[in-house]
Amino acid sequence: MPQITWVLQDPRFLQQLQHFDDDLAGRVRSAGCPCGGRLHGARYPRKPRGGPATGLPAGYGHRASFCCAEDGCRRRATPPSFRFLGRKVYLAVVVVLISALSQRVTVRRFAQIRAHVGVCRRTLERWREWWLEVFAEGRFWQEAKARFAPPPPSTDRLPASLIERFAGDDPARLLSTLRFLLPITTASAVVPAF
């Protein structure tokens, strides 16, 4: 299982996630609105939690979003994100890793987790509930788990069982997990091929 410290202390990994998000935003914008209108940019300020103590790379505090320029349409398109897991305030990588690590949390491990990301036990419990109920019972997981060779990842061990199903070293497995979760990071845009 990946260790949290390397992710949060490696600015290259965090910058890579931002680069992927910028690429996805460019693809959504260039595709335009389904009505044929041009998309105007609007960045949402975010205060992502769980990042490194020395600060996040420049631009991490904003999420790209677009709005159709055509009168009468004004449809919004928010690209999927490697950095943000829907409306959660913690970085997606933190929610995934901490949730996976906390499945066998000891008092000592919880103290380490809290020291690195400042997450409290109640937040860990909410994340666990989200993985087991909202995510596991949701339409996305019900359809997407069929992509895995039988048996699918164990629902009661999400997200650890999901991370374990991807090949490669820890960074590659983590990136694959974040890529797999892209469709649930936004409600307003189709996920472009990546």
Overall domain count for the chain: 1
Can you give the residue range of the structural domain that contains 65? 4-185
The pLDDT, as a whole number, for residue 50 is 83
**Is residue 191 included in any domain, yes or no?**
no
**Is residue 170 included in any domain, yes or no?**
yes
Confidence of residue 191 (pLDDT cuts 50, 70, 90): low
Condensed to tens digits (0 to 9), the pLDDT of residues 159-176 reads 999 999 999 888 889 999
Strands 66-68 and 76-77: antiparallel
**Is residue 84 included in any domain, yes or no?**
yes
Angstrom distance (rounded) from CA 161 to CA 168: 15
CB-based contact 4:113 (threshold 8 Å): yes
Confidence of residue 193 (pLDDT cuts 50, 70, 90): low
Angstrom distance (rounded) from CA 10 to CA 2: 13
- What is the pLDDT of the chain when averaged over all its residues? 86
46 dihedral zone (left: phi>0; alpha: psi -120 to 50; beta): beta
**Is residue 190 included in any domain, yes or no?**
no
**Is residue 79 included in any domain, yes or no?**
yes
**Is residue 137 included in any domain, yes or no?**
yes
DSSP string, 40-68: EE-PEE---BS--TT-PPTTTTEE--EEE
CB-based contact 82:178 (threshold 8 Å): yes
Instruction: Summarize the confidence of residues 79-105 as an average pLDDT.
Output: 88
Angstrom distance (rounded) from CA 96 to CA 1: 11
103 pLDDT higher than 60: yes
The pLDDT, as a whole number, for residue 1 is 39
Angstrom distance (rounded) from CA 70 to CA 90: 34
The pLDDT, as a whole number, for residue 92 is 93
Condensed to tens digits (0 to 9), the pLDDT of residues 125-142 reads 899 999 999 999 999 999
77 by DSSP, 3-state: which? Answer: strand
Residue that wins the pLDDT comparison between 111 and 71? 71
Angstrom distance (rounded) from CA 137 to CA 129: 11
**Is residue 193 included in any domain, yes or no?**
no
88 pLDDT higher than 70: yes
The pLDDT, as a whole number, for residue 192 is 54
Question: What b/e string do you get for 11-27 counting C-beta neighbours within 10 Å, with b at 16 or more?
Answer: eeebeebbebbeebbeb
Take residue 136 and report the two structure tokens written for it: 């596991």
